[in-house]
Amino acid sequence: VEALRQPLEDAVAPVVEHHEDHVQALHTAQAEGLDVVFVVLNNRGYGILKGLAEGLYPGRGAEVPGLAPTGVDFALLAQAFGVAARRVGTQAELEEALAGLPRGPFLLEVLLDPTPVPVF
């Protein structure tokens, strides 16, 4: 939306993984030719929920059903919508990707450490 209101300003849309319900934003960005960067921070699982489950059920958090989703390749998903994308897993790859961002809609998937972070 910000890219439509301020077309001369840079727009970045941070998105956390497994919010596929917002995937239609990729279609809109591509269809409208928006100059926006979607940044997906992907810990390859529900890290915050796993940490919460472990805090609530010490030693049994891994037993909570539904917290082990299969890996989604968000860069590939973006490409299915016609949006250019790149997946990075190192600091060097991230810096290289940020230095060469293309015009138009682009999705940058940043792979994070999948280790759950304790919530409590």
Per residue of the chain (120 residues), what is the pLDDT tens digit? 555 556 656 666 666 555 555 788 899 999 999 988 988 888 877 777 888 888 888 888 778 888 776 678 999 999 999 999 999 999 999 999 999 999 999 999 999 888 777 776
* 38 burial via Cβ count (<10 Å: 0-12, 13-18, 19+): buried
Is residue 38 within 8 A of residue 105, CB to CB? The reply is yes
Q: What is the CA radius of gyration of the chain?
A: 16
For 2-32, the pLDDT digits (tens) are 555 566 566 666 665 555 557 888 999 999 9
Contact 53, 61 (CB under 8 A): yes
Query: Would you kindly state where each structural domain of the chain is located, as residue ranges?
Result: 2-111
Residues 6+ positions from 53 with CB-CB distance below 8 Å = 61, 62, 64, 67
Superfamily of domain 2-111: Thiamin diphosphate (ThDP)-binding fold, Pyr/PP domains (3.40.50.970)
Q: What is the pTM of this model?
A: 0.75
